[in-house]
Amino acid sequence: MIKTISLPRPSLSDNTADADRLIRALKQELKTDRIGIELELLRELPVLLRKYDYHIRCLLFQDRKGYLLVSISGADETKPLIGLAVDLGTTRVVLRLIDLIKGNTLGESTFDNPQIAIGPDILTRIHFADTEGGLEHLHALIINSINEELARLCQTCAITPKDVYLLSLAGNTAMTHLFMGLSPHRIIREPYIPVINTPEIMTACKLGIKANPLSKILIFPNIGSYFGGDLIAGILFSGMNLSEETAILVDVGTNAEVVIGNRHWMIACAGAAGPALEGGLSRMGMMAGPGVIDRASIRSDAHEFDIHTIDDKKPIGICGSGVIDLAACLFLSGMMDIRGKLVPAACGNRFKEKDDMGHLIVVPASESATGKDLCLSQADLDSLKRSKAAMFTILETISGAVGLLLSDLKTFYVAGTFGCFINPKSAITIGMLPDLPLETFKPLGNSSLGGAVMALTQDCIKTIDAIRNQITYLELNVNQDFMNRFSAAKFFPHTDISRFPSVKQYL
């Protein structure tokens, strides 16, 4: 929060000390009973107050007991006050710089999590953290990369890391632990105990972050080992915690995490869908990038695909949303049956056998950038089937757990970059998402980053804690009932076609 205030000048009849004078005014202004101020700022305070003639702009960060005073400048000064939001993903890290005075984005930078060098998945890293010096190495990798990227990003925005006073970071529980240099050892071991759920606001330099030495960082709290701060940030960003209407939020990443609820209650389940989700949705297709097929449709007359590639480059591969679009096309055109098997006769010359497995040629070698056929293999489709069935089963289970039908939902948030590109119509067609009116689906984009940005520009730590405390975590019980539902969902779109009326009409 930025607060411009004028202090009464000291006099013999009001000779309160400089710090106490400022704190008194801020307490009154902010209706709080605690204003924290660091020694380093205290040392500069007498000069600053007089330099600006007691008319100052204060940058404060709300913590759980009040506010922390982070910077003092002249009320009319143009000194930049910058915030840094961090989306700390297992695979990708996104930094976004926010001008805290104007509220706008200054710049953004995405880079690979350098811990990938240790292990692409979090499990490998957690094991590595148990080795001698392993935790320190993982900690240093992420801190150093953030520092380097921050420096670079600042340069492009014509500011310096010293201008960065507030930071917020959202990541899953394991990543957050590695970021803080806390052992993630028990996160993956029964009974799955993190070191901390709710970190205090801390001084960023304590973590090795090279922003302003006075800068403070809010690290989003987690609910447990399998429900991290990234999801809390996502919920904050969606606003579903404020709404009377019940909404569902699905974050499709390495795991599928689902939250259902409204301002009165929230139920979440995440990750541990057992073998059903093994492999995960993220394995569908390749990562989005130039030349990657992200959208596709079919000219039903000709069995011809209309494909779209990112940046309109010659196609080099297919990403998740493309796979879903293509699977929907294949199913509707009869090239794939309701079991998800390619139908060679219907595929015609697009069908080929390779390594004893059926393949559907999406783009022939002659038109692809790789010089090779771009295919969907039967294995790809089987994997998609398992993933979409798992997703649908989780959605069914969680809504059932609160006595709701999926059709009762008025808003369906799809988070993650995946959620941005996915075509809900296609996802419904393959039975991955429930058959709701298309306007029900709201892509949130990088909701984790969005929540982190909100934490910089609004006083929302209480809201964040409220979200955390409001959520009931539902351990997905992968029992016979779940497996039966899962089996029923392993058809396109479902064994019970009556649940997908919008698809049925085309069949």
Strand pairing category for 292-299 and 317-318:
parallel
Q: By CB under 8 A, which span of 142-150, 195-203, 336-344, 430-438 interacts with its own copies?
A: 195-203
CA distances for 209 relative to 105, 120, 204, 205, angstroms: 21, 24, 5, 5
- The answer to whether 196 contacts its own copies (rule: CB under 8 A) is yes
In the complex with its own copies, the residue whose CB is nearer, 189 or 339, is: 189
Number of Cβ atoms within 10 Å of the Cβ of 278: 12
| Smallest gap from residue 119 Cβ to its own copies (A) | 21
The CA-to-CA distance between both ends of the chain, in Å, stands at 56
Binding mask 421-460 for its own copies (x = CB under 8 A): ----------------------------------------
Binding mask 458-497 for its own copies (x = CB under 8 A): -----------------x----------------------
Bond prior to 275 in cis (omega within 30° of 0): no
In the complex with its own copies, the residue whose CB is nearer, 17 or 438, is: 17
Crossing angle of helices 229-238 and 461-470, in 10° steps, is: 110
In the complex with its own copies, the residue whose CB is nearer, 137 or 341, is: 137
- The answer to whether 505 contacts its own copies (rule: CB under 8 A) is no
Q: How far apart are CA 415 and CA 215, in angstroms?
A: 29
- The answer to whether 197 contacts its own copies (rule: CB under 8 A) is yes
In the complex with its own copies, the residue whose CB is nearer, 132 or 190, is: 190
CA distances for 201 relative to 26, 63, 217, angstroms: 19, 6, 6
Write the DSSP assignment of 388-415 as a string of letters: HHHHHHHHHHHHHHTT--GGG-SEEEEE
In the complex with its own copies, the residue whose CB is nearer, 88 or 330, is: 88
Q: How far apart are CA 321 and CA 424, in angstroms?
A: 10
Single residue of 16, 156, 458, 472 touching its own copies by CB under 8 A: 16
Nearest to 123 by CA among 194, 176, 174: 174
For residue 179, how many C-alpha atoms fall within 13 Å in the half-sphere facing its CB? 30
Single residue of 58, 159, 207, 398 touching its own copies by CB under 8 A: 207
Single residue of 88, 95, 106, 182 touching its own copies by CB under 8 A: 182
Residues numbered 59 to 88 that lie near its own copies (CB under 8 A) are 64-66
| Smallest gap from residue 199 Cβ to its own copies (A) | 8
In the complex with its own copies, the residue whose CB is nearer, 207 or 336, is: 207
| Number of residues written out for the chain | 507
- The answer to whether 132 contacts its own copies (rule: CB under 8 A) is no
User: Count residues contacting its own copies (CB under 8 A)?
Assistant: 45
In the complex with its own copies, the residue whose CB is nearer, 304 or 475, is: 475
In the complex with its own copies, the residue whose CB is nearer, 50 or 264, is: 50
Q: What amino acid occupies position 193?
A: I
| Smallest gap from residue 13 Cβ to its own copies (A) | 8
Partners of 68 in beta bridges = 36, 61
Binding mask 25-64 for its own copies (x = CB under 8 A): ---------x-xx-x--xx-xxx----------------x
- The answer to whether 507 contacts its own copies (rule: CB under 8 A) is no
In the complex with its own copies, the residue whose CB is nearer, 50 or 372, is: 50
CA distances for 484 relative to 174, 268, 441, 490, angstroms: 32, 21, 27, 10
256 Cβ partners below 8 Å, 6+ apart?
Answer: 250, 270, 271, 273, 277, 280, 281, 390, 391, 394
Binding mask 212-241 for its own copies (x = CB under 8 A): ----------x-xx----------------
Single residue of 127, 137, 162, 185 touching its own copies by CB under 8 A: 185
In the complex with its own copies, the residue whose CB is nearer, 469 or 484, is: 469
| Smallest gap from residue 392 Cβ to its own copies (A) | 27
Q: By CB under 8 A, which span of 191-199, 245-253, 321-329, 355-363 interacts with its own copies?
A: 191-199
- CB contact burial 189-217 (16+ within 10 A = b; e otherwise): eeeeebbeebbebbbbeebebbbbebbbb
Nearest to 222 by CA among 187, 260, 273: 187
Nearest to 256 by CA among 268, 240, 243: 268
| Smallest gap from residue 66 Cβ to its own copies (A) | 7
Instruction: Report whether 291 contacts 311 (CB < 8 A).
Output: yes
In the complex with its own copies, the residue whose CB is nearer, 153 or 217, is: 217
In the complex with its own copies, the residue whose CB is nearer, 139 or 388, is: 139
Nearest to 176 by CA among 505, 408, 452: 452
Q: By CB under 8 A, which span of 9-17, 342-350, 421-429, 494-502 interacts with its own copies?
A: 9-17
Q: How far apart are CA 125 and CA 185, in angstroms?
A: 10
Report the interface residues with its own copies, using CB under 8 A: 10-12, 15-20, 34, 36-37, 39, 42-43, 45-47, 64-66, 180-183, 185-186, 190-200, 202, 206-207, 222, 224-225, 475
